[in-house]
Chains A and B, each alone.
Chain A
């Protein structure tokens, strides 16, 4: 007699393909993904198709032009093309964000992984260290580290990475601890699976989910942080274009020339929003039970 799969034939899609399938059905998440990719590509490649000089060349005659055919976003108080500055700024804001999250993720995986895997003394020491960093608001810690290290974009990157990785470490550790005790790990051990196989085939694929969601959302927060630090004049310093520094430069002029404030701000908001969409979409795709 035929056995029927009551749920219908889902086919032999792998777990990640299932996640991608569910993600694709989420229109908001897909929109976010596409937008952020466009922004990323546009800004990272900006040095290829926008002449560097347009970013810095001052041209007092053309100052304070509203968006027009020649200057798509208009010009600022020094006559510099805002479009070029926003695009170049995006390169720094977005790629700096990526670098910070990448470094923090790597550190977090190593520290959290070691803590979760080895347990005992190692766990306690590593987690106490993380607690120390987590005791202070992230932005403040980054600022303190910058004050000790000195000004500059690279130093800011280091500072932000250090203030971000403890959060990741906690999540990675929590993931590992939950998974270690799952029944299917016990089942795998009973079947005689080796430790490394357990790690790579069971723990990592299942544990990566929450970490990736967290990384995506942290990217949004990091971009906001970089912009805030730029605005304050810590980290990226004018005249280097970065969405935050552009806003700080034009602070007194926005009153009369709103586009100078609206446009960079919009770019920040849209980037972060898209990342939030993607992060939420990933979270829903990984655990569909939370939806209905």
Chain B
């Protein structure tokens, strides 16, 4: 019995807009074990959200397109799955939490109704009382009085709304939870609360999780493994301890670490990464980080490096070609 819950192979996703084709995901390989917590890091525009939406096939209808590649969820071929199969998977076996809690909830339905809906959709056979009991139970778990379930979203704060989103995503006990920057829109203090909640719930339900964030601190405290995305590619992945050791890293990852203020050292200025991410409508031939990389070689501009790996830690950079253990 395979331990893997998710296998993504060579995925290419693009957006076909009126003005140009935006190549958002360019050849991503990713696997996730059951119960594993993966942090997906990258700056805005790296393709993280697109990748997440593709797993659930929630890309914008006419514009988003999975060009090629495989997404296998517990053996099910997602790319070729039809609408009905996807409806069964979404919410019950895989669910997603989105970034902005202020707009993710339907304003004219009560909070209780919206959580109940998940159960109603996927477990029609259990009784109404049982469903209500489950709704109450999860409300208690997220720290909201069950008596509040007849209130409307506008009566809750941003942090509470995000917790309600989490409740909706977990009430059906999914095997995979994708959280797209779940704490970015929240205050720092609320962030901590929400993260702790997610940790507790993950323990309880043993869901695998992909946590998308641009905050390395969150990754450090929460995730087992981390993958770094840049311009639609995964340029580094491995266990958090390995990557965060800062011994071997992709130059971009190094840049990310350097741009975070460090309480232990004495620095005059932060060190940002020079330049901007490449234009996804005009991708260069060679390594996509080439024009911002301090170690750029001639070879980097001509060819795109493969993802070198030593079995545990992988880096997509020619400087690490010697990493490969055969």
Chain A interface residues (CB < 8 Å from chain B): 1, 3-4, 6, 8, 292
B242 at the interface (CB under 8 A from A): no
Q: Is the CB of B279 within 8 A of A1?
A: no
Some 14 contacts from A to B, beta carbons below 8 A apart, are A1-B274, A1-B275, A1-B291, A1-B292, A3-B275, A3-B276, A4-B276, A4-B279, A6-B276, A6-B279, A8-B19, A8-B20, A8-B281, A292-B18
Interchain CA distance A1-B279 in the complex, whole Å: 15
In the complex, what distance in Å separates the CA atom of A292 from the CA atom of B20? 14
- B1-29: which have CB < 8 Å to A? 18-20
9 nearest A-B residue pairs (beta carbon): A1-B275, A6-B279, A1-B274, A4-B279, A1-B291, A3-B276, A4-B276, A292-B18, A6-B276
Beyond the given pairs A3-B275, A4-B276, 12 more chain A to chain B contacts, judged by CB atoms under 8 angstroms and listed by A's residue number, are: A1-B274, A1-B275, A1-B291, A1-B292, A3-B276, A4-B279, A6-B276, A6-B279, A8-B19, A8-B20, A8-B281, A292-B18
Nearest chain B residue, comparing its CB with the CB of A292: B18
In whole angstroms, how far apart are the Cα atoms of A6 and B281 in the complex? 8
Expressed in whole angstroms, the Cα–Cα distance for A8 and B20 within the complex equals 10
In the bound assembly, the distance between CA atoms of A1 and B291 in angstroms comes to: 8
B19: A residues at CB distance < 8 A = 8
Q: Which of B234-281 contact A (CB under 8 A)?
A: 274-276, 279, 281
Shortest B231–chain A CB gap in Å is 12
Assembly CA distance A165 to B212 (angstroms) = 53
Report Cα–Cα, A110/B130, bound state, in Å: 64
Taken together as a complex, chains A and B put the C-alpha atoms of A280 and B281 apart, in Å, by 31
- CB proximity of B120 to chain A, nearest CB, Å: 33
Q: When chains A and B are docked, how far (Å) is the Cα of A18 from the Cα of B70?
A: 42
Give the shortest distance, in Å, between A180 (CB) and chain B (any CB). Answer: 24
* Cα separation A4 to B277 with both chains bound (whole Å): 9
Contacts of A292 in B (CB 8 A): 18
What 1/0 flags go to B273-297 for Cβ under 8 Å of A? 0111001010000000001100000
> A21: shortest Cβ distance to chain B, in Å?
14
Set of chain A residues within 8 Å of B274, measured between Cβ atoms: 1
Chain A contacts for B20, CB-based, 8 A = 8
| Chain B min CB distance to A5 (Å) | 9
What CA separation (Å) do A119 and B109 show in the bound complex?
Answer: 37
Q: Which residues on A sit within 8 Å (CB–CB) of B18?
A: 292
Identity of the chain A residue whose Cβ is nearest the Cβ of B18 in the assembled complex:
A292
Which residues of chain B come closer than 8 Å to A8, judged between CB atoms?
A: 19-20, 281
> What residue of chain A has the Cβ atom nearest to residue B280's Cβ?
A6
Chain A residue nearest in CB terms to B19: A8
Q: Which residues of A contact B281 (CB under 8 A)?
A: 8
Highest count of chain A CB atoms <10 Å: which of B18, B276, B281: B276
CA separation between A3 and B20, bound complex, in Å?
20
Q: How far is the CB of B300 from chain A (nearest CB, A)?
A: 15
Contacts of A3 in B (CB 8 A): 275-276
Please give, as numbers and ranges, the residues of chain B lying within 8 Å of A6 by CB-CB distance. 276, 279
A287 to chain B, nearest CB (A): 16
User: How far apart sit A6 and B221, CA to CA, in the bound complex (Å)?
Assistant: 34
Give the complex CA separation of A3 and B276 in angstroms.
7
A1, A6, A292: most-surrounded residue (chain B CB, <10 A): A6
Q: How far is the CA of A181 from the CA of B18 in the complex (A)?
A: 33
Residues of A within 8 A of B291 (CB): 1
Residues from chain B with a CB closer than 8 A to the CB of A1 are: 274-275, 291-292
A292→B18 CA distance, assembly (Å): 10
Q: Within the complex, what minimum Cβ distance (angstroms) separates A25 from chain B?
A: 10
Closest to B292 in A: A1
Closest chain-A Cβ to B131's Cβ sits at a distance in Å of: 39
Shortest Cβ distance from residue A124 to the other chain B in the assembled complex, whole angstroms? 29
Residues of A within 8 A of B275 (CB): 1, 3
- The residue in chain B whose Cβ has the minimal distance to the Cβ of A5 is B279
Residue of B nearest to A1 (CB): B275
The closest CB in chain B to the CB of A6 belongs to B279
Which B residue sits closest to A4, measured CB to CB?
A: B279
* CB closest residue in chain A, given B278: A4
CB distance from A259 to the nearest CB of B (A): 44
- Report the minimum CB–CB distance from A24 to chain B (whole Å): 16
Contacts of B292 in A (CB 8 A): 1
Across the two chains, which residue of chain A brings its CB closest to B62?
A292
Docked CA distance A150–B304 (Å): 83
Task: Report the minimum CB–CB distance from B290 to chain A (whole Å).
Answer: 11
Q: How far is the CB of B242 from chain A (nearest CB, A)?
A: 31
CB-defined contacts of B279 to chain A, threshold 8 Å = 4, 6
Kindly supply a per-residue 1/0 record for chain B positions 134-145, scoring 1 wherever the CB is within 8 Å of any chain A CB and 0 otherwise: 000000000000
Closest to A291 in B: B18
The residues in B between 185 and 216 inclusive whose CB is less than 8 angstroms from any CB of A are none
| Smallest beta-carbon distance A7→chain B, Å | 8
Q: Could you tell me the distance in whole angstroms from the C-beta of A104 to the nearest C-beta in chain B?
A: 37
Alpha-carbon distance A254/B232, docked complex (angstroms): 69
**Least CB distance, B227 to chain A, in whole angstroms:** 24
